Structure 1
Amino acid sequence: MRLGSRDDVRVLAYHRVLESADPSGFSFDTELISASGEAFREQMSYLKRHFVPMTFAQVLDYLDRGKRVPKGAVLVTFDDGYDDNYRVAFPILRDLGMSAMFFVSTGHIDSGRPYAYDWLVHMVCSTAASRLQAPELGVDWKLGDNLIARRAQASELLDRLKSLDDDGQSALIARLEQEWNLPREKGHPDCKPMTWDQLREMHRDGMEIGSHGVDHRMLAKLSNDHMRAEVQGSKQTLERELGAPVAVLSYPVGGPDAFDGQTIDAVQAAGYRMACSYMAGTRAVEAKTLYSLPRLPVERQMDREWFEAMVAVPEMFSYASRLRTG
């Protein structure tokens, strides 16, 4: 009944799909693990049976022809560009004859470096230091004595960090890298971006690739020139490497403080035709929502019943958006 009465499109948001949703000794952000490979296959199979999986290109084609998107339309998206997207998620999608949009930060594809926020979590979980001091965030903590406690502290630190401007965020992470002798350039096998060869293979096999900026910066916290360089530069790099137009962007972090009117203007001026936020919800795809599409975050705690309920009745069973203060 609900599908027959609503025109909104479900846009599912994933980050990482790993072999296990609770990997042993994992020193990175477990909140970015959306599902195990087994659960992801079940979720995609369910969508294929009960909904209308679509690509962004198909949605844009409907809009260009003045037609309404089919009832039950669903889009699958991934943010950031982790290599497990290629290793685990992509083969499942290919096996099922489905597509997804992979929003990638081109600077990390170029460099192979882990993402700054991930590295902050890794440092907190891995450092031999016993204390964490970040006066700019009002933090002076004794670090936990086990991985679970450290993960909780890293999650709180990360949430506070995002209240700073871009320079402040970068400076804090760089300072901890130096103080704790954990340089990001060393990398880690549990947190690698995809390569251009992997992205090209995925694109040839029907996956969509979109922009997530150059260096995964919160666009609204950058100077206007820097913000425009992130938006334009990522599009230019993707189109050069993939040999195809790039029409869609996902705002890094994606909350209400990650993009604003100036950001949307820059995204439109750069030639993007749609953009996704990380605000929870569903909307009809129309002119007023094209550059702020909400999504439905998928997280590892969801069992099969919860996932199916969320997709069926998202206003009741999806996560509420987290709003930072300060």
Structure 2
Amino acid sequence: MVNPSTSDGRASGIRGRLGELCYSSGLLHSLQRARAWWHKDLRILAYHRIMDFPDPETYDFDLELISTSPERFYEQMHLLKRRFRPTRLTDVAEAIAAGETLPPDTVVVTFDDGYDDNYRIAYPILRDLGIPATFFVSTAHIDTGRPFLYDWLVHMILTTGTPSFVLPELNIDLPMPAARAERRELAGRVLLAMKDIGALEQSAMIARLERDWRMPCDDAPAPPECKPMNWDQLREMHAAGYEVGSHGVHHRMFAKLPHDDMVREIRESKATLDRELGDPAILMSYPVGGDRAFNGEVIDATREAGFELGCSYICGTNPDPATNRYALYRLPVERNMGPGWFAAMLTLPRLMSYPTVHHETGKDPVAACSP
């Protein structure tokens, strides 16, 4: 969840204020040089959507997926080019395979899901600045153009006219709030709670709400506000040197699927990417990506399918990528990060990034690495 921010986008919390102070004082560059000397680690930035911040009262989708605005994204990438070493994720895989140490201040840029603003907004900025990046996509949504189920669930909660909200799967039975802010809070609670049930149960629960509320998402392509990319766009980006990796087929939590379904999702996503883009897909980002979303069985299936790296959504950096190449930590970028906070997070990631809340995964939990 994103903390509240001030109207100019600067965070009101202690991390944001401390980041802005370090940034404005000029300390960060010296701190970066010192840290690069004694602490060599791989930093991977994780983005979802790049778009102008909409009015919460009229925007009918999940605000939490907006990582930053186009203007701030340009500033962030410009800082990355000036002060760090932007690197392709496949170059990281090659360095690991060769047993080579990565250069100091290596940073990788990644995007999850595959929204079309990645193509319309992020890609031109990255291309113009010469910053490499990896786009992880859920192939069924690229195939169909339909919205992600989590997106559609939030949309339904925000816009339904039903007077009550009944979810026996999550033991929820309460009146539907009238206020938009209260509905957003409720949607956030539901998204968090549903991660404790099976992936097929999650899909069935959302399908039932679509029927009960007469709001099917399959009747038409995704609304412009939550539209996925298409294959032509991805082929253009891939031809320009940008990497495309797997984020599953249906954006389901792999560790919450029955074993055979999990293996099928991983293999089918790779087969589709290989066919559509003409090169072997070797990069994976586990959908949802927290410690409930992947485990040792998922890692084994990912490796056996032919992927060479796997990214989690657990916050942190990777001191020795060779030891955790299928469970790499990332640094999520969130919309309340002003320039100072972003620069401070890259320079002092352990101090300035949000810690991930860890959960019991049921069996064979994965410790990706130390932050």
**Superposed pair shares fold, TM > 0.5:** yes
Matched, 1:39 2:76: no
Deviation at 1:284, TM superposition (A): 2.7
Q: Gaps (5+ residues) in structure 2?
A: 1-33, 362-371
SS of residue matched to 2:72: helix
For residues 163 and 141 of structure 1, what CA distance do their matches in structure 2 show? 20
- Percent identity at matched positions? 50
From 202, 205, 222, the equivalent of 2:240 is 205
Match of 2:192 in 1: 159
Deviations 1:42-95 (A, max 9, x none): 001111111100001222232333321000000000000011111111111011
Q: 1:260 to 1:64 in 2, by over 3 A?
A: closer
Match of 2:357 in 1: 322
Letter in 2 for 1:68: T
SS of residue matched to 1:70: coil
Q: 1:122 to 1:88 in 2, by over 3 A?
A: same
For residues 101 and 311 of structure 2, what CA distance do their matches in structure 1 show? 19
Match of 1:283 in 2: 318
Which 4+ residue blocks in structure 1 deviate beyond 4 angstroms? 21-24
Letter in 1 for 2:215: L
Q: Counterparts of 1:228-307 in structure 2 under 5 Å?
A: 228-307=263-342
For residues 104 and 136 of structure 1, what CA distance do their matches in structure 2 show? 28
For residues 43 and 214 of structure 1, what CA distance do their matches in structure 2 show? 30
Residues 137-146 or 301-310, more deviating: 137-146
Say if 1:21 and 1:33, in contact at 8 Å, map to a contact too. no
For residues 357 and 156 of structure 2, what CA distance do their matches in structure 1 show? 24
Letter in 2 for 1:299: E
**RMSD, aligned CA:** 1.5
Say if 1:144 and 1:150, in contact at 8 Å, map to a contact too. yes
Report the number of matched residues: 326
For residues 205 and 285 of structure 1, what CA distance do their matches in structure 2 show? 30
For residues 67 and 319 of structure 2, what CA distance do their matches in structure 1 show? 25
For residues 25 and 40 of structure 1, what CA distance do their matches in structure 2 show? 24
Q: 1:125 to 1:23 in 2, by over 3 A?
A: closer
For residues 138 and 236 of structure 1, what CA distance do their matches in structure 2 show? 38
Say if 1:112 and 1:192, in contact at 8 Å, map to a contact too. yes
Match of 1:122 in 2: 155
Q: Counterparts of 1:170-185 in structure 2 under 5 Å?
A: 170-185=203-218
TM-score normalised by length of structure 2: 0.85
Q: Bigger relative contact order, structure 1 or 2, given CA contacts below 8 A and separation 6+? A: 2
Match of 1:226 in 2: 261
Match of 1:59 in 2: 92
Deviation at 1:148, TM superposition (A): 1.9
Say if 1:101 and 1:210, in contact at 8 Å, map to a contact too. yes
Say if 2:195 and 2:292, in contact at 8 Å, map to a contact too. no
Match of 1:132 in 2: 165
Deviations 1:143-188 (A, max 9, x none): 2223222111111111111111122211110111011111011332
Deviation at 1:20, TM superposition (A): 2.9
Letter in 2 for 1:266: A
Deviation at 1:22, TM superposition (A): 5.2
Match of 1:191 in 2: 226
Q: 1:50 to 1:21 in 2, by over 3 A?
A: farther
From 164, 180, 184, the equivalent of 1:147 is 180
Matched, 1:216 2:254: no
Letter in 1 for 2:258: S
Say if 2:96 and 2:322, in contact at 8 Å, map to a contact too. no
Match of 2:120 in 1: 87
Match of 2:106 in 1: 73
Say if 1:18 and 1:37, in contact at 8 Å, map to a contact too. yes
For residues 15 and 4 of structure 1, what CA distance do their matches in structure 2 show? 31
Q: 1:90 to 1:23 in 2, by over 3 A?
A: farther
SS of residue matched to 1:278: strand
Residues 194-203 or 277-286, more deviating: 277-286
Residues 146-155 or 112-121, more deviating: 146-155
TM-score normalised by length of structure 1: 0.96
